Chain A
Amino acid sequence: MSATRSPRRYGRLLFAALPIGWVTVLLLLPYLFLFAHSFFRLVDGQLTHQLTLENYGRLFGTALYPNTILFSAGIAARVTLASLCLAYPLAYLLAFKVRRHKNLLYMAVIIPLWVSYLVRAYAWKIILGQEGVLNGFLMSVGIIREPLAVLLYSKWAVMLALVHIYTPFTLMPIYAVLEAIPPALKEASTDLYASRWQTFRHVVLPLSLPGVVAGCTFAFVLSMGDFIAPILLGGNDSALMVSNLVVSLFGVAFNWPLGAAVSVVMLTMTVTLLTMARKLEDRWGGGPAGRRLDAPTTGGMGRGALHA
Chain B
Amino acid sequence: MTALPLVESKGRRRAAPTDLWSHALWLTGTGVFAFIYLPLLVVILYAFHDANIVAWPFHPFTLRWFGTLVHDRGMVDAAGASLKLALLATGLALAVGVPGAFVLDRFEFPGKAAFERLVLLPLILPGVITGVALLTFFSFVGLSLSSGFPLVPGWPVVLGHGAALTSVVVTQVYARLRRFDRVLEEASLDLYASAWQTFWYVTLPVIRPAVLGSALLVFTLSLDEIAVTFFLVGRQNTIPLQIWGLLRRGITPEVNAAATVVFAVSVVVIVIWARLLREDR
Contacts and interface: CB of A to CB of B under 8 A. Distances in A.
A107 B274 contact: yes
A92 B177 CA distance: 30
A143 to B, nearest CB: 13
Nearest to B119: A23
A116 B224 contact: yes
Contacts of A37: 136
Contacts of A120: 39-40
A12 interface: yes
Interface stretch (B62-70, B71-79, B122-130): B122-130
Interface stretch (B146-154, B163-171, B201-209): B163-171
B172 to A, nearest CB: 6
A156 to B, nearest CB: 15
B262 A304 contact: no
A85 B42 CA distance: 24
A270 B126 contact: yes
A33 interface: yes
B36 A112 contact: yes
Contact of B32 (A29, A34, A89): A89
Given A26-B159, A93-B26, A294-B175, A132 B99 contact: no
A23 B123 contact: no
A123 interface: yes
A137 B55 CA distance: 10
Interface size class of A (residues with CB under 8 A): 35 or more
Interface stretch (A50-58, A179-187, A224-232, A279-287): A224-232
B25 A30 contact: no
Given A116-B266, A305-B171, A30 B134 contact: yes
A167 B99 contact: no
Contacts of A228: 226-227, 244
B127 A304 contact: no
Interface of B: 6, 10, 13-14, 17-18, 21-22, 25-26, 28-29, 32-33, 35-37, 39-40, 42-43, 46, 53-57, 95-97, 99-100, 102-104, 107, 109, 115-116, 118-130, 132-137, 140, 159-160, 162-163, 165-172, 174-175, 178, 189, 195, 214, 217, 220-221, 224, 226-227, 230-231, 240, 243-244, 247, 251, 255-256, 259, 262-263, 266-267, 270-271, 274, 277-278
